[in-house]
Amino acid sequence: MSPPKAPTLFLLFFLLLLSSTTTSNAHNITRLLAKYPQFSTFNHYLTTTHLASQINRRQTITVLALDNTAMSSLLAKHYSLYTLKNILSLHVLVDYFGSKKLHRISKRSTLTSTMFQATGAAPGTSGYVNITNLKGGKVGFGAEDNEGKLDATFVKSIKEIPYNISIVQISHALNSAEAEAPTAAPSQLNLTEIMSKQGCKAFADLLTASGADDKFNENMDAGLTVFCPTDSAVKSFMPKYKNLTASKKVSLLLYHGIPVFMSLQMLKTNNGVMNTLATDGANSYDFSVSNEDEVVSLDTTVVTSKVLGILKEEEPLIVFKINKVLMPKELFKPVVAKEANAPGADAPADSEPADAEDNTNGVQGLGGGRLVMVVLSLWIGILLI
């Protein structure tokens, strides 16, 4: 006798629903544009201004892309990088507009908000873009603070992932007096002060004493991710640290920095090997990033450390708190896996005791994967009754 079809269909629908919810917001603007060389300059400046990572964190977004010719005209005006960021952020709409939607706008015209408006630096309606259907099936675009002028027209759709991200090409850059206004560089963040005030004073003191903090500060404007061990983790590691030479101490400290901005979501979606500030030619000084049940881990082959939380996130800087000091294989002996059932299979000599703060963050617990397994187990149990 064949099993009932209704429960089986419901189970398949349930699995499909779970699959769709776990893959949402999985776009990467840099990778999508990398397939189109004619947008290489635009793509480069999205990364340089850190707009790319902000776009990737948005669940619904439309990017008005400029080809290399249009970008050349924009760059010829010699804006500062911070002003250029405001201009490009005006070209990122915080709503989904695919090709069909653009050509079927109700009442012929609509105003939509942009990432420039979302920064809080755009007064009034200057952070809005006017989209208008024109004669002959054309679509025009113009900044709302540009006296009603439509500076650009729709050229073509580049990539659409409904209703997640849409990338469309427009003919020219949008003009906006507010976005083009001179913008000062962000105030210099004090990295060691940030760490000292939030449970990482011991590590901050090591950076200052060794002079490694200079290297961190040099990379801050271009993008910097720092993994800061807790005070208790540094305290337990100090006997090993004191045995290192001065140059090796600096290498170990630089090993805790990545020369790009990597948000928590980016770490989760870009698992794999990461180079660090200590990476130099033959000295790889890299580690692997992985995540399971929402917990992000850093594996050096000597020790595995977990991300406990975020101390500071203000692009281009992000500082994570971790539960163990990262020990590179270039300075310490990698752990050799032992057979689980082998007699006397004790913990490796270089492994460190679990940090007491390991469970104080809100990241761990019953993650998405475990929840799925629990629900599926219950449902399968019902089917078997």
Count Cβ atoms below 10 Å from residue 107 Cβ, excluding itself.
7
Half-sphere exposure of 210 (CA within 13 A, CB side): 24
Q: Would 380 be classed as within a structural domain?
A: no
Asked if the structure places residue 8 within a domain, the reply is no
Instruction: State how far the Cα of 377 lies from the Cα of 18, in Å rounded to an integer.
Output: 14
User: Would you say 329 and 302 are in contact if contact means Cβ atoms under 8 Å apart?
Assistant: yes
Concatenated DSSP letters for 249-307? Answer: HHHHHHTTEESS---HHHHHHS-EEE--TT-BTTB---EEEEEETTEEEEE-SS-EEEE
Do 50 and 135 lie in one domain? The reply is: yes
Is 336 among the domain residues?
no
| 50/162 same-domain check | yes
Both 151 and 195 in one domain: the answer is no
Tens of pLDDT along the chain (385 residues) come to 445 454 444 444 444 444 443 334 568 999 999 999 999 999 999 988 888 888 988 889 999 999 999 999 999 999 988 899 999 999 999 999 999 999 998 788 999 999 998 777 777 788 899 999 998 889 999 999 888 899 999 999 999 999 899 999 999 999 999 999 987 666 567 899 999 998 899 999 999 999 999 999 888 877 899 999 999 999 999 999 999 999 999 999 999 999 988 888 889 888 899 999 999 877 899 999 999 888 999 999 999 999 999 998 877 889 999 999 999 999 999 876 554 444 444 334 344 433 333 333 333 333 344 444 444 444 545 444 5
Same domain, 122 and 215: no
| 318 domain residue, yes or no | yes
CATH classification at residue 83:
2.30.180.10
In a domain, 368, yes or no: no
Instruction: Give the strand order in the sheet containing 287-292.
Output: 257-258, 224-229, 317-322, 304-314, 295-299, 287-292, 272-274
Residues 197, 150, single domain; the answer is no
* Cβ neighbours of 176 (radius 10 Å): 24
- The Cα–Cα gap between 86 and 49 comes to 9
For residue 271, what pLDDT is reported? 87
Total domains present in the chain: 2
Examine residue 381 and state whether it is found in any structural domain, yes or no: no
At position 324, the amino acid (one-letter code) is K
Is residue 313 domain-shared with residue 197, that is, in the same domain? yes
Handedness of CA 174, 175, 179, 184 (dihedral sign): positive
CA distance 86 to 26: 25
CA-to-CA dists, residue 57 to 61, 261, 275, 297, 381, angstroms: 10, 13, 22, 20, 38
Query: Domain range for residue 122?
Result: 29-170
Report pLDDT for 189.
78
Same domain, 224 and 298: yes
Q: Taken in order 298, 303, 308, 314, is the CA torsion positive or negative?
A: negative
Is residue 209 domain-shared with residue 238, that is, in the same domain?
A: yes
Could you tell me if 128 and 96 lie in one domain? Answer: yes
360 within domain boundaries? no
Indicate whether 103 and 202 sit together in one domain.
Answer: no
Domain check: are 204 and 166 in the same one?
no
Do 262 and 130 have their domain in common? no
